[in-house]
Structure 1
Amino acid sequence: MADDGRRIEDIALSREQVLRAVVLEAHSKRELTEVVESSRSTVDRAIRELLDVGLVTQRDGRYEATLAGECALEAVEAFHERMQQVSSARGVLGCLPPDTPLDSAFLDGADVYTTMPEMPDGVIQRLFESIEGACHLRGVAPAVLSGHLKPFYDAAKASDADVEMVLDSDVLDQLIAAPSTRDIFLSQLTDDRITISRGNVPFSFGLWITETEVGVVVYTDTGIRGVIVNDTDTAYSWAERRFEELSADASEITMDGIELDE
């Protein structure tokens, strides 16, 4: 059965032009050579293969797609779309380890924003735009770039959003220890609308969730490589599962639990 499925897949991909033509309209072989702009021998082979796997049928000297053929063409088009999405995201995804728990379905319908050399921090503005329009923001941070901490806080305050963040323990300790970020972090911690929890973030990408979209931030050793944004139900389900799993094991941070060096 698996071999049959692979054969249908191979034929549907290799004979896509002819299959698409007969899905749109029944044709004779002579008409097909004109429609797909190919030789009669090539069309003959294509029709023979499509007939053999049940994707095309013959009626009164004309060839038309079966229901299986129509479904096969839809599958081929979905495959092309998925591959285009992978191609668009490959520069960003290439910065993540192979075992990264990023569901490939997250790419379906996603927009990918890649850092440009002339504007190395430009893509992070896409995150701030998402935050500025939010009433409720949830996020996960395995890393924090100090230069983005205040703009993040300002964007959240501007929208008066309720914020729930899970920070990796090492990142949280660094924010508290560094004079350049300590005051900003403590300001966030004393804000009634912001909840910050300490946890073990087992992946290297950042994650945010608002009412309208979810996004992933991909880091490099020197900054941000890009962001991927999606608003589909599938993307939401995946992102919410990740956030809830981490939140369940995280501990909320309060001022009483912070030790500051004098």
Structure 2
Amino acid sequence: MCYDWGERLFSSPHRLAVLRELYSEPADTQALTDSLPISRVTVQRHLNGCAELGWARKVDGRYELTPVGNHVCEAAATFLDRLSVLESSGDVIDAVATVDDRFDPILLANATVSVAEPDTPHEPIIHYRNAMAETTTDTVRGILPVFSELIVEVHRDLLASGVETDLIAPRPILETAPPSIAETPSTLFSLYVLEQPLEFGLTLTDDAAFFGAYDDGTFAVCIESSEPAFREWATDRYEHYLERARPVPLEADGSGVESTSVREFGTDAVD
């Protein structure tokens, strides 16, 4: 039965178009003909088909969707949205699935996705830098999977402007990073060490979330979204790793400024 309904709904894009018009508001045959690029005969044929299936009914000369018809229209729209995301973002979905195989691809529907291509290999990191430069957030929480001078510069600038920052980094990154990420006020900067390597990065601001996929240490994909569902997923991932990380004690000098280097974080402070 369900397959039959799907076949009759998707056998013609015009039938779904008629349903969507009626989903907005009831209409008569002429109004539908005026708003759709199909003939009156075709409109009427699809209206008759929808009525036969119990999706639409005629009331006072106008057609309207039944409660079942409303659900059919919503289900079809969701289905097509999912197909669209899967078609356009297959590689991105594969990358996210390595982090969380329960990730719902529909979360990408309203996201901004930057992918490294042969002719634009730096597009993801450029997008991230520009987005963070424009943010007005008061806090940043993130996972730093690799050492990148550009990303460190971005976060150094945020700290300098008074943005409270919590970062999680794998121990190998802290042990191999060049000295001195920054000298920062201890009240603004918290660092956590994780005993496992990671192939992805996360950043949470007050109103957006960023996910970065890496390919052999190269920033390959950047996903940015302010949608609550995506931010909830990213927050859950961040907190998952925060629970497994340990804080790195940062010692301040007499002026209240950090003097411990990144190399010292990795080799001394976490031992």
TM band (smaller chain) = 0.7 to 0.9
Task: Name the structure 2 match of 1:157.
Answer: 159
Task: Name the structure 2 match of 1:57.
Answer: 57
Are 1:17 and 2:17 counterparts?
A: yes
Contact 1:197–1:252 at 8 Å: present in 2 too?
A: yes
Residue type at the aligned position of 1:135: D
Contact 2:199–2:217 at 8 Å: present in 1 too?
A: no
Residue type at the aligned position of 2:166: E
Inter-partner Cα distance in structure 2 for 1:191 and 1:86: 44
Task: Name the structure 2 match of 1:259.
Answer: 267
Contact 2:174–2:266 at 8 Å: present in 1 too?
A: no
Inter-partner Cα distance in structure 1 for 2:98 and 2:44: 42
Are 1:100 and 2:95 counterparts?
A: no
Inter-partner Cα distance in structure 2 for 1:257 and 1:98: 28
Contact 1:199–1:249 at 8 Å: present in 2 too?
A: yes
**Runs of at least 4 residues of structure 1 off by over 6 A?**
none
Inter-partner Cα distance in structure 2 for 1:231 and 1:34: 34
After superposition, what is the alpha-carbon deviation per residue over 1:92-123, rounded to whole angstroms, capped at 9, x for unaligned?
33445567343434324211122243442232
Contact 2:143–2:203 at 8 Å: present in 1 too?
A: yes
Are 1:223 and 2:218 counterparts?
A: yes
Inter-partner Cα distance in structure 1 for 2:35 and 2:163: 60
Per-residue deviation, 1:163: 1.1
**TM-aligned CA distance change 1:150 to 1:19, over 3 Å:** closer
Contact 1:85–1:110 at 8 Å: present in 2 too?
A: no
Contact 1:139–1:208 at 8 Å: present in 2 too?
A: yes
**TM-aligned CA distance change 1:224 to 1:135, over 3 Å:** same
For 1:245, what is the secondary structure of its paired residue?
helix
For 1:68, what is the secondary structure of its paired residue?
helix
Contact 2:211–2:234 at 8 Å: present in 1 too?
A: no
Contact 1:209–1:239 at 8 Å: present in 2 too?
A: yes
Task: Name the structure 2 match of 1:137.
Answer: 140
Task: Name the structure 1 match of 2:115.
Answer: 114
Contact 2:99–2:200 at 8 Å: present in 1 too?
A: no
Task: Name the structure 2 match of 1:213.
Answer: 208
**TM-aligned CA distance change 1:59 to 1:96, over 3 Å:** closer
Q: Which has the higher contact order (CA 8 A, sep 6+)?
A: 1
Task: Name the structure 1 match of 2:180.
Answer: 184
Residue type at the aligned position of 2:152: K
Residue type at the aligned position of 2:172: D
Q: Percent identity?
A: 20
Contact 1:200–1:246 at 8 Å: present in 2 too?
A: no
**TM-aligned CA distance change 1:21 to 1:67, over 3 Å:** same
Task: Name the structure 2 match of 1:173.
Answer: 172
Inter-partner Cα distance in structure 2 for 1:205 and 1:49: 50
Inter-partner Cα distance in structure 2 for 1:123 and 1:10: 40
TM-score (normalizing by structure 2): 0.72
Contact 1:128–1:155 at 8 Å: present in 2 too?
A: no
Inter-partner Cα distance in structure 1 for 2:105 and 2:7: 22
Task: Name the structure 1 match of 2:227.
Answer: 232
Per-residue deviation, 1:73: 2.4
Per-residue deviation, 1:231: 0.9
TM-score (normalizing by structure 1): 0.74
Structure with a larger share of its residues in helix: 1
In structure 1, the gaps of 5 or more residues are none
Inter-partner Cα distance in structure 2 for 1:99 and 1:119: 25
After superposition, what is the alpha-carbon deviation per residue over 1:133-191, rounded to whole angstroms, capped at 9, x for unaligned?
332100123x31434343234333343211111123xxx324423xxx32134x46x65
- Once the two structures are overlaid, the 10-residue window that deviates more, 237-246 or 126-135, is 126-135
Residue type at the aligned position of 2:141: R
